[in-house]
Amino acid sequence: MVNSMTESNVIQPDNAQLSTKNRIKPSPRVNMAHLAKDMGIYPYFIPNYGQIGPRTIINGKETIMLGSNNYMGLANHPEMIRVAMEAVQKYGTGCTGSRYLNGTLDLHIELEEKLAKFTEKDAGICFSTGMQANLGVISGLAQKGDYIISDAKNHASIVDGCRLSYAETKVFDHDNMEDLERVLRTLPRDANKLVISDGVFSMEGNLANVPDLSELSEQYNARLMIDDAHGVGYLGKHGEGTGGYYNMMDKIDLLVGTFSKSFASIGGFVTAREDIIDHLQHHARSLIYSASLPPASVAAASKAIDLFYEGDERREQVMKNAKMFRDGLDELGFTTIQGKTPVVPIIIGDVMKMLKFNHKLIEAGVYTNPVPPPAAVKAMLRTSMIATHTEQDVQEALEIFEKVGRKTRILKKKK
């Protein structure tokens, strides 16, 4: 997408009299957005007019939601709504301060204790977003003279956390354990080292190789941090995530997560040894200098943990839905990325074809997430399944995909 635009195409502000210092530098990304808007196919910031469930209302029409990270289907669960409303009634709408000062409620402490038990760690701390969790944990823990070793496809919040840290960052090829070992071999054994990987990579939906990550981290005297934002809830014995899937929770030194996906709330967290959490409470700037999570969000996240423990049926259903949808797409002739998670990427290749296809899907009643490079290697639609999708939802979505795919020539027409 970025390489297809030139500076001569860049749209300048209407006010040509702006001084040089007030002008924003030309951005191919923004220029592409303007082009998509002019063509009527701009796919971002589209409002929903209803609860985020298996279906929602977009542009006045009931739409099958295939672009949500609401994997366990809890965003409109009656118990989640109930506890959130009760928290507002008891505590009000906000905490009006940092956790470090006046912004800690008993709700926060209760949630952190539940998270520690849930993820089999000593202690935990909550942040106001998942992004802030990674920013605070990485920059608060890795100092000058330390080393961060990060997977090439880690989430942007990890990348930015590395940038904020004074540690030296080394990047290894995605999911390439030989390259990880090559990097680790070059670093001083006695230096503090932090190996970081997503648990489930958000765009393609593939699982991190936790067994080999753990083995290499131990061999080269490094801590292992897993960001399991997209794995917690539906992976593991009771939803504890990627580490639970491999039965290796004890091998993960720091587990970072978010409340904005399976937890169906907002916020982020890290669980680890008690001394690490104690350190972060006094060094994670995104924790210390941000207002704390509001009561409703904390209560909802806490209730989500309870529902995870009794969520075997939902875990089974979301994986069943993903298989049904992926198999259906493959049978129709779409190119998908195989995986073991509810994330089902559909490779389109060309950015403009992807945007046009996505626009027609929305008009027909299906919402997906269009992902251009560099967020994905090739332009693709990122779809994801929800535990509360019914078989009818999945089959209807497949019918729409086939109809729109043939109309837009993404799929070959039937002979």
Give the tokens for residue 181: 């070992």
Among 133, 172, 177, 396, which Cα is nearest to 285's? 133
Residue entry with tokens 């797409």:
329
Q: Which residues of the chain does CATH 3.40.640.10 include? A: 78-309
Active-site residues, by number, are: 202, 230, 261
Task: Identify the pLDDT of residue 414.
Answer: 67
Average pLDDT of the chain, as a whole number: 94
**pLDDT digits 0-9 by tens, 314-369:** 999 999 999 999 999 999 999 999 899 999 999 999 999 999 999 999 999 999 99
**DSSP at 187:** S
Q: Which residues of the chain does CATH 3.90.1150.10 include? A: 25-72+312-407
Task: Identify the pLDDT of residue 8.
Answer: 40
Q: Kindly indicate the confidence band of residue 12, based on its pLDDT and cuts at 50, 70 and 90.
A: low
What average pLDDT does range 138-167 have in this prediction?
97
Residue entry with tokens 């990097």:
183
**pLDDT digits 0-9 by tens, 264-288:** 999 999 999 999 999 999 999 999 9
Question: How many whole angstroms separate alpha carbon 342 and alpha carbon 388?
Answer: 12
DSSP strands (E only) in 243-341: 254-258, 268-272, 335-336
Q: Find the helix or strand (DSSP H, E) in which 35 lies.
A: helix 28-39
Task: Identify the pLDDT of residue 25.
Answer: 84
The CB density around residue 273, as the number of other CB atoms within 10 Å, is 14
What average pLDDT does range 158-179 have in this prediction?
97
Question: How many whole angstroms separate alpha carbon 371 and alpha carbon 156?
Answer: 14
Question: How many whole angstroms separate alpha carbon 270 and alpha carbon 296?
Answer: 20
Are the C-beta atoms of 28 and 2 separated by less than 8 Å?
yes
Are the C-beta atoms of 385 and 321 separated by less than 8 Å?
yes
**pLDDT digits 0-9 by tens, 186-207:** 999 999 999 999 999 999 999 9
Task: Identify the pLDDT of residue 34.
Answer: 94
Least-confidence region, from 234-243, 319-328, 369-378: 369-378
Predicted structure pTM score? 0.92
Burial 96-123 (b: 16+ CB within 10 A, else e): eebbeeebbbebbeebbebbbebbebeb
Q: Kindly indicate the confidence band of residue 142, based on its pLDDT and cuts at 50, 70 and 90.
A: very high
Residue entry with tokens 């299906």:
366
Q: Which amino acid is at 241?
A: G
The architecture (CATH level 2) of 25-72+312-407 comes to Alpha-Beta Complex (3.90)
User: Is 78-309 a CATH 3.40.640.10 domain?
Assistant: yes
